[in-house]
Amino acid sequence: MGAVMAVNIRGASLIIAVDLQSRRLKLAKKLGASHAVVGLDEDVFAQIQKISGSNGVDYTVDCAGIPQVVEKVLDCLGTRGKAATMLPYLIEQHANANFPLDEIVSFYPVKDYGTPFKEIKDGEELKAVLFWNKQVILGKY
């Protein structure tokens, strides 16, 4: 979701979100994605080609860090396409209140560690952070 918000801020007109969870795809559309594709579909690349009207996209951003996902992300690049990261820019945008992390991140006490794992698996939660002591970690709780 962070990548969707970031490229939306940067003015991208064609933003294709790919995810396994329908809730995440719905949120991606809310946050600026122009299209949403279910990542489990066999023809993800064909769908992206059809949407982009070319042999692939100019840029891809992976947010999962899973080798199989990275491979598919690279497969979706068109000729001269580039894979990029926007982390420094996202940090700046968050500091300027343009990057609403509260829409995608939730905090859970470590004693309740099973809850976020279940909610992520069920598609109810996007990003979960376990904490031992919020005051120490975030300095504001």
Domains belonging to the chain, first-starting first, are: 2-93 (3.40.50.720), 104-138 (no CATH)
Pair of tokens at residue 7? 């490229």
Closest of 86, 42, 40, 37 to residue 57, by C-alpha: 37
Q: What 8-state DSSP symbol labels residue 82?
A: E
Closest of 42, 40, 36, 5 to residue 18, by C-alpha: 36
H or E stretch covering 37: strand 35-38
Q: What is the pLDDT along the chain (141 residues), one digit of tens a residue?
A: 888 998 899 999 999 999 888 899 999 999 999 999 998 877 888 999 999 988 889 988 877 766 777 778 888 898 889 886 666 777 788 889 888 888 888 888 888 889 998 998 888 888 888 887 655 455 444
- Give the pLDDT of residue 114: 92
- Give the pLDDT of residue 141: 41
* Model pTM score: 0.63
Pair of tokens at residue 120? 């992520």
Hey, what's the torsion of the CAs at 11, 78, 72, 59, to 10 degrees?
-20
Pair of tokens at residue 89? 């820019």
In terms of C-beta density within 10 A (0-12 exposed, 13-18 middle, 19 or more buried), how is residue 111 classed?
exposed
In terms of C-beta density within 10 A (0-12 exposed, 13-18 middle, 19 or more buried), how is residue 35 classed?
middle
- Give the pLDDT of residue 36: 95
What is the tens place of the pLDDT at every residue in 68-106?
Answer: 777 788 888 988 898 866 667 777 888 898 888 888 888
Pair of tokens at residue 70? 């990275």
H or E stretch covering 50: helix 44-52
Judge whether 106 and 125 are in contact, CB under 8 Å: yes
